[in-house]
Structure 1
């Protein structure tokens, strides 16, 4: 019979052991541990051994709440084997229950790194192996606490993914998009939208975009210090990208195209080419319409490069995660987010990173989730996580505190 044991370790040991694992969720990475330490969260690190050999690694956060500490274990533990090891996991849950109880815990929340369902864009579904997590966690005294639709305390229960492993070029990538996705990206090329990385000194511009978006959509944004810390700690693994446009350059390109088309018309008087001349004339009218639409922007911004949208991506050996983003609503006609998505996916392909994680969606497939509809333009698939499970070490105490909070809110 295998001998399984768990042990709390120091941060330095966590850093060293983390380097030995090929596939680590960024939430459980050394960089995230460093970021959380700066943000003044209490962190705990653990290893699991089987017959004296280290088989798993985990980081857990703790925050002071009314009545004690709230412990959270997200997308962990990380298994050295690269696959979910059920027996080790459930034994670890038992260990964490005792740990939380002995360390003034009032809440222990666990979010396993396990998918339970895959949903394709055509509506078809595939159930995945969940190792009986829901049933066994209930038996251990945990309560399933996440909503089936929406977000769980800001964390998505549903992710949208795209498999890049069979794509080997930019042309293959573009062809893999939906027709609307291809159209939108091609429009960014016509507009002259450019994508580039931000420097550390430019992060205030990133913050302006995300803040404007958070106000418009009604969610809480991180402060600038968070993004600055993220940039420094994650280094090359983090990419802060922006899509820009120079309206004067765009206008010059339109005028040049109009002049080229007009020369073609002027140099062609053959009756046989009348249809072609009509087509060229139609293109000129289209370009002139764009020129008219762009005049207010040109008058306001002149010959400046203006940021239209921004995104933050986190890279690992097996996936790139689309973590945060924002855009200015007044520039939505330029389809800037499509240029950013195309850019980061081409980089993933160049680096042989097989998976692109668009991250959160609500899990609502009735056509009301605009975020999902945007992501579906790139033709991936949705996955539902098994969700979150919460254990209350002192349930009576927790219920009394919850009741007191409810009474205070009423008053």
Structure 2
């Protein structure tokens, strides 16, 4: 085997053919190489030149004279092949020593446990031999963390399996309330469209509402613009919205239809005043008619106070050959009744199916399944779509310059 740099073409072919995270993409490399020049494509080839492992690494300045390296959910390899693991990581250390590396963080896209939505383990993946090998190579496992972190990728993901399932099957496997909410978005004429990078403000306004609701500050608008530039062909800002004038027109058309039905029901009731069937029908249509009048009044009032178009919810999506990723999102709580977030998810699930993507990744949850978990509502929302939970192995850190790394740790306590 041979360790070294990979060119962009051979790297791209490998990560497209092997399950990998979107951060391990040629698009990510191309953007950073052109704009920051802080990225490396490394890998292992066999004696015939076939790629066996590939990894995108980035570097950042640390302790002024050194660098910190990060593998971004990599490398992409068969982690059960411990000889390959040993060869890659031991040669990576030699490479990093030549590049003034202080320490390296690696977070393999490697499953630890498959769980149901309640957190119960469905299947355990025995990684103890991998962890033992990493420890022998000088990598310190950072533990089985729970919660969100600004310092590392989330360890717990909520995922919906799309493989070999029709849209009807996917809907049937969702819980009743989720199916009902999706159906209601069609009745309320909720629409979805893609925002251009110049419209990032519309997304960010909704995202800030989510930050305020949950009491945290996560990203600035520049981050979302950069994500769109980094992944220009496979990232999307999606907006769920309502054109109230269109909705009003449909409501009035339905009102007209109900008026005709009510007149017919009244006529039949006059002809058969003692008919239980006629009385029931008249009562039902009367209720529907009055309810529709209220809807029209509410829509007209909302146009007066809030304008013709309501932005309900928005989200950033990225996809590759393997997964659709639902990343950052936000919504206007004032318009929760319109179920914009449900329509967004369903539209993007259908997009994934149309593009033969086999996994819909709702992305991070805390891994706290208690009743007072900070993300309890988020977990229930994702569970409603029939998503399961995947727990990943977590972070490993190797101090390449141990003495200076201890100084770094003291300074950052």
Shift of 1:43: 1.1
Note if contact 2:80-2:130 (Cα within 8 Å) is conserved in structure 1: no
Q: Is the 8 A contact 1:214 1:221 kept in 2?
A: no
Name the structure 2 match of 1:19. 13
Question: For 2:370 and 2:281, how far apart are their aligned partners in 1?
Answer: 44
Task: Tell me the residue number matched to 2:153.
Answer: 155
Match for residue 62 of structure 1 among 59, 62, 65:
59
Deviations 1:232-287 (A, max 9, x none): 45334223211110123223333333332232122122422211222222323433
1:239 and 1:395, CA in 2 relative to 1: closer, same or farther beyond 3 A? same
CA distance in 1, matches of 2:94, 2:79: 25
CA distance in 2, matches of 1:285, 1:129: 61
1:118 aligns to what?
114
The alignment status of 1:276 with 2:281, answered yes or no, reads yes
Gaps in structure 2 of 5+ consecutive residues: none
Task: Indicate yes or no: 2:340 matched with 1:336.
Answer: yes
- Contact 1:195 1:242 survives alignment (8 Å): yes
Q: 1:84 to 1:193 in 2, by over 3 A?
A: farther
Instruction: Trace 1:9-408 onto structure 2 (pairs within 5 A).
Output: 9=6, 13-20=7-14, 21-23=16-18, 24-37=20-33, 40=36, 42-53=38-49, 54-66=51-63, 68-79=66-77, 85-121=81-117, 123-125=119-121, 126-130=123-127, 132-145=129-142, 148-152=145-149, 153-169=151-167, 171-217=168-214, 218-224=216-222, 226-268=223-265, 269=269, 270=272, 271=275, 272-291=277-296, 293-294=298-299, 296-302=301-307, 304-367=308-371, 368=373, 369=375, 370-406=377-413
Task: Check whether the contact 2:173–2:385 (CA below 8 A) recurs between aligned residues.
Answer: yes
Unaligned runs of 5+ in 1: 407-411
Aligned CA-pair RMSD: 2.5
Decide whether aligned partners of structure 1 residues 47 and 285 sit closer, same or farther in structure 2, where only a CA change above 3 A counts.
same
Cα drift, residue 393 of structure 1? 2.1
- Larger CA deviation: 33-42 vs 135-144: 33-42
Name the count of aligned residue pairs.
395
Deviation at 1:340, TM superposition (A): 0.9
Distance 1:237 1:72, change over 3 A: same
Displacement of 1:41 after TM fit?
6.0
TM-score by length of 1: 0.87
Q: Distance in 2 between matches of 1:283 and 1:84?
A: 62
Alignment check: 8 A CA contact 2:119 2:389 kept: no
Deviation at 1:182, TM superposition (A): 0.6
Rounded to whole Å, the distance in 2 between the matches of 1:293 and 1:128 is 54
Greater shift after overlay, 110-119 or 328-337?
328-337
Q: 1:304-350 CA deviation, whole Å, 9 max, x = no partner?
A: 33321112222222221112222222222211011011111112222
Distance of 2:174 and 2:236 partners within structure 1: 23
